[in-house]
Amino acid sequence: MKIFVAAPFTNKIDPENGQVASEFKDQLALLYKALREQGHTVISAQEREQWGANLMPPDVCTPLDFAGIRECDLLVAVPEASGGVHMEIGYATAYEKPIIQILHEEGTYTPLLQGIRTVTSTVRLYFRQSITEVVSSLQDAVTTLVANGDRTQFQVASIAL
């Protein structure tokens, strides 16, 4: 399965070294590793752009992300306050892709993000401190999607720690 991971990027870059902050990079890398260990292909703007070392201009990265979402089977989104991730969620919704949202349990999210489960298959995974807290639940949700074989069967759910 092809999985596009939509996560904050440019607002996570450390201005001193031009790279994604190491703590956040490590968290995302662990998510990518867990998905790849299940045999999935991960599409990541962060990796494509070498964690900030090779940032692409908007006219290049935007169509690449759009194409990646069009071609993926699933979107895993860490929206936070990232306008880019919200755009990617919109693309995925327009293509009727199932979405797994990774949300901070105390986060405040827009009504459209909260209501997305009414228009596309959605699972919400909640964390307290680090997105790595949901790795096992993420793997389980992806396994369920693969087992069902049909994204229309993907259950709308919320999983809290």
Summarised one tens digit per residue, pLDDT across range 101-143 is: 999 999 888 888 888 888 888 999 999 999 999 999 999 999 9
Residue 35 phi/psi, 5° resolution? -70, -40
Determine the structural domain holding residue 148 and report its residue range: 2-159
CB 107 within 8 A of CB 129: no
What would the pLDDT profile of 60-106 be if each residue is shown by its tens digit?
999 999 999 999 999 999 999 899 999 999 999 999 999 999 999 99
What digits encode the pLDDT tens for the residues 14-61?
Answer: 999 999 999 999 999 999 999 999 999 999 999 999 999 999 999 999
- Per-residue pLDDT band for 149 (boundaries 50, 70, 90) equals low
CATH number at residue 54: 3.40.50.450
* Half-sphere exposure in the Cβ direction for 92 (13 Å, CA): 32
How far is the C-alpha of 35 from the C-alpha of 139, rounded, in Å? 7
Token pair 């860490």 is found at 78
Place of tokens 């070498």: 50
Please count the structural domains in the chain.
Answer: 1
pTM as predicted: 0.90
- 141 HSE (CA, 13 A, CB side): 27
